[in-house]
Amino acid sequence: MLATLVTAVVDGLAGSLVRVEVDVAPGIPVTRLVGLPDAALSEARERVRGAIRNAGFEYPASRVTVNLAPADRPKRGAAYDLAIAVGILVASGQVRAGGGSWALLGELSLDGSLQAVSGVLPMVATLVRAGHRRIAVPAANAAEGRLVAGAEVVAVVGLDDAARLVAGPRGRRAAAAALRPAARVSAVDPAGDGQAAPSRPASLVAAVEPVDLADVRGQATARWALEIALAGCHNLLLVGPPGAGKTLLARAIPRLLPPLDDEEALEATVVASVAGLLAGAAGLCRDRPFRAPHHTSSYAALVGGGPRLAPGEVTLAHRGVLFLDELAEFDRDVLDALRQPLEDGSVTIARAAGQVRYPARLQLVAAMNPCRCGFAGDLSRPCRCASGEPERYVRRVSGPLLDRLDLRVEMERVPPAALLEGDPPEGSAVVAARIVAARALARDRNGGVPNALLSGSAILRLGGFDGRARRRLEDVATRQLLTARGVHRLARVARTIADLGGHPGVDEATILAAANLRDPAGRPWELAA
């Protein structure tokens, strides 16, 4: 007997429809899975067999053929388990499909209960678009599935719940009769919402201890540069000895970022869904992403990849901030891979398993020591590195990557006296308000693009530079031997400084202020004297 069910696959950030066809026919009892399954999917056979038995059904002692159509598309992951298992139950006559058409998503445990899967949001969206509005998902993914307008998402806890749904009111008795008393699967709850309310809001903000700027003493320049960077989406590099407060300042970033708008929030939530970070979470990702991967992170973790071609940190930071502490300690390959996302706002991962393209429009904030011991250039402590080593250390970050950063701040350690005396500096709320206002000003002027992403010609056309400002821009460019890229970068930073002051135009003093912030691709230490 043949049964056909609908489920979905996620490829990159988009979903596509998959039909699960199950044929149970007399013959030698073997189960075959066809249609380009990967390793995790091939193991579905064993999971499904265990789940069917332990949920109180019988695994048919017949020839079982499972086809995943369309057959030419490679399929990954374990989200098909539920559809396969229910298909086997229907095809073997244990459940009569009287409940209408249901799309099924979920991974099975051997005890018949359902596990959360990643990518439910785009998969549900795909199913709804294809007209399959009634969808069963694991309880932990229900909140995420319900974000899609028009979807009728039912949370299921186990295989027997799903069987009941598919059987419908009339078939329910038959299915219930098949349940053995020993089955350890919880019964479906009347609301069809198998689980207690999700415990946390959906978010791509890394779990760092939040810091308020009022608690960051001294570091006036770095605070200023951070404000400029966040207001104009400029990539920022903080250089300073250990204890200067680089990481502290970075931990203040989440509170300074304006929330995502509706469209951005949906994009971020889809990313979180595909990365499998939405299980047990509710709502859209409203907070701007802030990712802080450790410097031992692998290429796959940062850029994306692995057997499932999962999105990496650069994609999780899409529309938000990627903070890389100890930049020079990251693998060179990993750092060089950052160039594509910084350039085109997306990342392409190509593997034997196929190729996917993820969005990665991120803002980079990086921190590093000036040398291995951390004290090169410090006035109060000698650097203990061998001669030439500080230069080599800085060179671990390649020129092309540095050239994609807009601002560089050299931080010094704050003298202990400054930590104790004086009034606390401005708090995060005040600074965040300025950042929001500056971003709004830039958005309206630039047509939605932050200053840092404006093209060279656009910044000079839209920037509102007065005559003296233009002459000063030329003058600084000539004196500092700036390249065209450098001039545009200077103009963009100046534009953001003016935005923070609420000025529609850019005057000469603003250009001079921007010129004081250093170009990260700038001259090495030796030549800075």
Partner 1 sequence: MSGPDERAAWIALAGVDGVGLAYFSTLVGQAGGAAPVLELARRGALGELPAGRRLPRAVHEAIRGAAHDPGRAQAELDQGGVWTITALDATYPPELTGLADPPPVLYGQGDPTTLAAPRRVSVVGTRRPSVLGRALAGAIARQLVELDAVVVSGLAFGIDGVAHAATVAAGGVTIGVIGSGHQRPGPRAHAGLVRDLLARGAVVGELAPHARPTRGTFPRRNRLLSALAQAVIVVEAPTRSGAVNTAHHALEQGKVLFAAPGRPGDRLTAGCLRLLRETEARPLVGLDELVADLADLWPALDPAIPGGRPGPRSGAVPTMSWADALTLLGPAERAVARVVGTGPAGLDRVIATTGLPPATAASATTVLQLRGWVTLVGATYVAAGPLARPP
Question: Binding residues for partner 1, per CB under 8 A?
Answer: 218-224, 377-379, 382-383, 385, 387-388, 391-392, 395, 409-412, 414, 418, 475-476, 479, 497, 500-501, 509-510, 512-517, 524-529
Residue 442 CB, nearest approach to partner 1 (Å): 16
The answer to whether 492 and 484 are in contact (CB under 8 A) is no
- 57 DSSP assignment: -
Residue 192 vs 501, nearer CB to partner 1: 501
CB of 36 to partner 1, least distance (A): 51
Residue whose token pair is 């103009």: 491
Sign of CA dihedral 99, 104, 110, 113: negative
Nearer to partner 1, 403 or 410 (CB): 410
- Minimum Å gap between C-beta 480 and partner 1 is 10
Report the residue number, 145 or 390, with the smaller CB distance to partner 1: 390
196: CB partners within 8 A, 6+ apart: none
Write the CB contacts of 268 (distance below 8 Å, at least 6 apart in sequence).
Answer: 204, 260, 284, 285, 289, 318, 319, 320
Closest separation in Å from C-beta 491 to partner 1: 15
Instruction: Please report how close the Cβ of residue 384 comes to partner 1 at its closest, in angstroms.
Output: 9
Rounded Cα distance, 482 and 488, in Å: 10
Q: How far apart are CA 315 and CA 478, in angstroms?
A: 38
Residue with smaller CB distance to partner 1, 28 or 379: 379
For the bound state, the minimum distance from the C-beta of residue 223 to partner 1, rounded and expressed in Å, comes to: 8
Q: Rank residues 112 and 370 by Cβ distance to partner 1 and give the closer one.
A: 370
Tell me the C-alpha distance between 153 and 134, whole Å.
6
Burial (0-12, 13-18, 19+ Cβ within 10 Å), 326 = middle
Q: How far apart are CA 471 and CA 398, in angstroms?
A: 32
CB closer to partner 1, 200 vs 479: 479
Select 340 or 480, whichever has its Cβ closest to partner 1. 480
Strands 363-368 and 236-239: parallel
Between residues 2 and 418, which has the closer beta carbon with respect to partner 1?
Answer: 418
* Distance of closest approach, residue 370 Cβ to partner 1, in angstroms: 8
Distance, CA of 118 to CA of 178 (rounded, Å): 31
Task: Please say which residue, 39 or 529, places its beta carbon nearer to partner 1.
Answer: 529
Beta strands in 72-143 (DSSP E): 103-104, 107-108, 114-115, 134-138
Q: What is the DSSP string of 411-479?
A: --PPPHHHHHSS-----HHHHHHHHHHHHHHHHHHHTS--GGGS-HHHHHHHS-B-HHHHHHHHHHHHH
Min dist CB 508 to partner 1, Å, is 8
Could you tell me the smallest distance in angstroms from the CB atom of residue 332 to partner 1? 17
Strand ranges across the sheet with 321-324: 290-291, 321-324, 363-368, 236-239, 407-410
Beta-carbon-side half-sphere exposure of residue 342 (alpha carbons within 13 Å): 20
